[in-house]
Structure 1
Amino acid sequence: MSYNTIILSRTGALSTITINRPKKLNALNQETIAELHDAFKVADADKETKVIIVTGSGEKAFVAGADISEFSDFSASEGKALAASGHEQLFDFVENLSTPVIAAVNGFALGGGLELAMACHFRVASNNAKLGLPEVSLGVIPGYGGTQRLPQLVGKGRALEMIMTAGMIDANQALNYGLVNHVVAQEALITFCTGMASKISNNSTVAIGMAIKAVNANYKSGVNGFEVEIEGFGASFGTEDFKEGTTAFLEKRKANFPGK
């Protein structure tokens, strides 16, 4: 499929989604959100894809927020509908994909950009990255999961400080906070993420999908994460990947997982 605001490509087991609005610092508008939803859906359904990397075009920004011009005149009900639609189409959708998603944060990740990065399964930042949720400086709160995912990652106090000051933190501070997993040089970002993807690709896609579901369950109201883990653990024993993994271990060879 052809896209106007993103680029989807696959090399081997790795699909890469690049948000391609460099003149707008890759800001998210409704078209981009819809195209991202489709691209993630396509990549997740592709049996050859074992890992997805999402990044921004250029060297300045991953995503420098939402496109404010689209909603500056919205009513309260329209704003609520905008947030609900974004959660369903993109942010919750990405978080719950069974295919691992790595955010390669190259530069600014602000507002909706940071919220997209936080919806990914983990984050790697370039050393020039700046991260923040500046929404209160516009008279609004984060609406794409920022008030929920940021405290989960950095703790309540740090999250409230970042939200209330509307300030940015640099890559090293984000690493110290646990907001990103790694910080690397700008020019090494995609290579580093590709290496991480390669390591992930060696493992069982079925087991990884179950692990994502179990970890996410811990953060869902009314869901017992331990029970989800127990169910997933038990279900693993009925998969071809389990048979291959245990057989390969006993035979002292590298496993060749069928993904079933």
Structure 2
Amino acid sequence: MDYQNILTAFNNGITTITINRPTKLNALNKATIEELHKAFDAADKDADTKVIFITGSGEKAFVAGADISEFANFDVSNGGQLAAKGQELLFDFVENLSTPVIAVVNGFALGGGLELAMASHFRIASTNAKMGLPEVSLGVIPGYGGTQRLPQLVGKGRAMEMVMTAGMIDANTAKDYGLVNHVVELEELMPLAEKIAGKIMRNSSVAISKAITAVNANFKDGVNGYETEIKEFGNCFGTEDFKEGTTAFLEKRKANFPGK
């Protein structure tokens, strides 16, 4: 599929989605969000894709925020629709994909950019990365899940400070907070992502998808995460991956998971 604002590439089980608006520091606009939805959906449905990377083009920005010019004149109704549609198409959608999504944060991740990174299943960052939710400096609040996912990741107090001050934190602080898992030099970032993806791809993709469902359940109101875990654990026993994994273990050989 031809995209105007993003690039996609597939290699060795990994689909890399790159937001490609360098003159706008890869800011998210409506068209980009729609293209990202289509790209994530296609990658998730591709049986050959075992891991998805999301990153930004260039060396300055992952995503430097939303395209403010698109919504500066919105009223209350338009603003609510903007947040609801964005979360449906992209942020909630990414969080609940069955394929692991790693945010490869290669620069500024601000506003909607940080929210996209937080919607991913986990994050790694380069040393030049800076992260923040500056929305209150514009008279709004984070509207793509930022007020919900940031406290889950860094705790209520730190999240409140980051939101209220509209300030940025550097990559090492983000790691100390638990917002990112690893920090490396920019030239080491993609090799690290590929190394981690390699470890993921050695395991059962079916079991991983069920683990994503179970982990996410703990953060959803009205859902008992333990009950979801029990259900998904039981479901694993009906998969070909379970049969292969246990058989390989008993036969003392490396498993060759069919992904079914």
Return the TM-score normalized by structure 2: 1.00
SS state at 2:189 partner = helix
Shift of 1:218: 0.2
The equivalent residue for 2:244 is: 244
Distance in 1 between the 2:224 and 2:105 partners?
32
**Structure 2 counterpart of 1:114:** 114
Match of 2:191 in 1: 191
Q: Which residue of 1 aligns with 2:71?
A: 71
Separation in 2 of the partners of 1:135 and 1:221? 25
CA distance in 2, matches of 1:12, 1:167: 38
Distance 1:38 1:12 in 2: 21
- The percent identity for this pair of structures is 73
Q: Which residue of 2 aligns with 1:56?
A: 56
The answer on 1:105 being equivalent to 2:105 is yes
- Structure 1 counterpart of 2:191, one-letter code: T
- Residue identity opposite 1:92 in structure 2: D
| 1:101-141 alpha-carbon deviations (Å, 9 max, x no partner) | 00000010000000000000000000000000000000000
Cα distance in 2 for residues equivalent to 1:240 and 1:47: 15
Structure 2: tracts of 5 or more residues without a match: none
Task: Report the Cα offset of residue 252 of structure 1.
Answer: 0.8
Looking at structure 2, the residues matched to 24 and 188 of structure 1 have their Cα atoms a distance apart, in angstroms, of: 25
Query: Shift of residue 70 of structure 1?
Result: 0.3
Task: Kindly state the Cα deviation for residue 12 of structure 1 after the two structures are TM-superposed.
Answer: 1.8
Q: How many corresponding residue pairs?
A: 260
Show the counterpart of 1:5.
Answer: 5
Q: Which residue in 2 is equivalent to 1:124?
A: 124
Residue 194 of structure 1: SS of its match in structure 2?
A: helix
- 1:1-260 aligned within 5 A: 1-260=1-260
TM-score (norm 1): 1.00
Aligned partner of residue 16 in structure 1, secondary structure: strand
Amino acid at match of 1:17: I
Please, which runs of 5 or more residues in structure 1 have no aligned partner?
A: none
Considering only aligned residues, what root-mean-square deviation do their CA atoms show, in Å?
0.4
Distance 2:137 2:95 in 1: 27
Structure-1 separation of matches of 2:78 and 2:189: 38
Q: AA paired with 1:192?
A: L
Q: CA deviation at 1:58?
A: 0.2
What is the CA deviation profile of residues 13-36 of structure 1, one whole-angstrom value per residue up to 9, with x for unaligned ones?
A: 100000000110000000000000
Runs of 4+ in 1 over 4 A off after TM superposition: none
Task: State the shift of 1:229 in Å.
Answer: 0.2
Using the alignment, how far apart are the partners of 1:176 and 1:47 within structure 2? Answer: 36
> What is the alpha-carbon distance in structure 2 between the residues aligned to residue 170 and residue 225 of structure 1?
33
- Letter of the structure 2 residue corresponding to residue 158 of structure 1: R
Report the alpha carbon displacement of residue 167 of structure 1 after superposing the two structures with TM: 0.1
Task: Give the match's secondary structure for 2:52.
Answer: strand
CA drift of 1:9 comes to 0.9
The C-alpha deviation readout for 1:31-70, integer Å capped at 9, x for no partner, is: 0000000000000000000000000000000000000000
Q: Secondary structure at the match of 1:144?
A: coil
- 2:101 corresponds to which letter in structure 1? V
**After superposition, what is the alpha-carbon deviation per residue over 1:198-221, rounded to whole angstroms, capped at 9, x for unaligned?**
110110000000000000000000
Distance 1:131 1:211 in 2: 28
- Aligned mates of 1:193, 1:134 — CA distance in 2: 27
SS of 1:102's equivalent in the other structure is strand
Counterpart-to-counterpart distance in 1, 2:43 and 2:178: 27
Pairwise CA distance, 1:95: 0.1
Give the Å deviation of 1:87: 0.4
Deviations along 1:170-201, one digit per CA (max 9) or x if unpaired, are: 00000000000000110111111011111101
